[in-house]
Amino acid sequence: MPSQAKLPVLQIDAFADEPFTGNPAAVCLPDTEPPADWMHRVATEMNLSETAFAWPSGDGYGLRWFTPVDEVDLCGHATLATAHALWETRRLGNDKPAIFQTRSGTLTARQNDQLIEMDFPAEPAAEFTPPKDLAESLGSEILWCGQNRMDILVQIANEQAIRNLAPDLACLARLGTRGVIVTAISENGSADFVSRFFCPSLGIDEDPVTGSAHCCLAPFWAERIGCNELVGFQASRRGGFVRCTLAGDRVLLGGQAVTILSGEMIAPPPGT
């Protein structure tokens, strides 16, 4: 029986400076774009919040992201993990930027001292009336509510209220958005604001650290704090810091990454 082709695959903790913190992502590095159905099956098998697929394309890489349930338009932590994987496997030199063509346009990542810095679109939320029963579903009073093309953003009273949240996930899954970002001002000096992100509609009850949510959080807090350089802490069980710089209609997101494992997986059969 002929041997089956294999592809490199890594599992990387993103927005983390030590193993088993931040947000884990699987990164698969095929030579060409795989079939979408196969990518979806792999993501379901990996059963992480995101599995990324990156292949050489033009002067950079094509990049797609899948949760165990569906493909998404934008993912920060899996992009950070993919850039880290390209440098670690020496597909890119450390001095070269990672350039990705995605469903959200061209995204870039560069090494900046100890951080990987990504250039993402800003995704500000427009204020709107909270959906019925949202406050009850969250178990918290809402101070402000808005929505962008992906998520609902909710500001609540304080950091302790963020940490105490135990929302009704079934209700949040019925809102018709990717997820719900809940945020408050930070009460200690290590960060400017804190947040949590719930996206049960995509098979992820709570995402540990969400880069794309900070594309919304950065413009929100920059306006209120009066500073375009901010540090966010996502107060999930694993937790992680995201450095944010608002630059017009772009947001620079900075974080670290740690490889947890690397190996090979079976490639899709030819012609699939």
Q: Is the pLDDT of residue 2 over 60?
A: no
In the chain, which ranges are continuous DSSP H helix? 36-46, 76-88, 134-138, 159-164, 169-173, 211-225
The one catalytic residue in 50, 123, 159, 206 is 50
Contact, 61 vs 99, CB < 8 A?
yes
Q: What is the spatial distance between Cα 134 and Cα 145, in angstroms, rounded to a whole number?
A: 10
Q: What is the spatial distance between Cα 241 and Cα 80, in angstroms, rounded to a whole number?
A: 13
Q: Is the pLDDT of residue 268 over 50?
A: yes
CB atoms near residue 190 (< 10 Å): 9
- pLDDT given for residue 3 in this prediction: 63
> Does residue 50 have an active-site annotation?
yes
**CA atoms 223, 205, 128, 73: torsion sign:** positive
Q: What is the mean pLDDT of residues 37-53?
A: 96
Share of the chain above pLDDT 90, in %: 92
Q: What is the spatial distance between Cα 245 and Cα 231, in angstroms, rounded to a whole number?
A: 9
What is the torsion angle, in degrees rounded to the nearest 10, for the CA atoms of residue 75, residue 169, residue 37 and residue 265?
Answer: 70
Residues 95-111 have pLDDT tens digits of: 999 999 999 999 999 99
Q: Is the pLDDT of residue 67 over 60?
A: yes
Residues 157-212 have pLDDT tens digits of: 999 999 999 999 999 999 999 999 999 999 988 999 999 999 999 889 999 999 99
CA 12-14-20 angle, to 5 degrees, is: 70
Q: Is the pLDDT of residue 232 over 80?
A: yes
- pLDDT given for residue 177 in this prediction: 93
pLDDT band at 272 (very low <50, low <70, confident <90, very high): low
Share of the chain above pLDDT 70, in %: 98
- pLDDT given for residue 129 in this prediction: 96
Domains of the chain: 6-112+256-266 (3.10.310.10), 126-248 (3.10.310.10)
- pLDDT given for residue 20 in this prediction: 95
**CA atoms 22, 28, 33, 38: torsion sign:** negative
Q: What is the spatial distance between Cα 254 and Cα 232, in angstroms, rounded to a whole number?
A: 10
Which residues 6+ apart lie within 8 Å of 24 measured at CB?
A: 11, 12, 13, 14, 48, 49, 208, 260
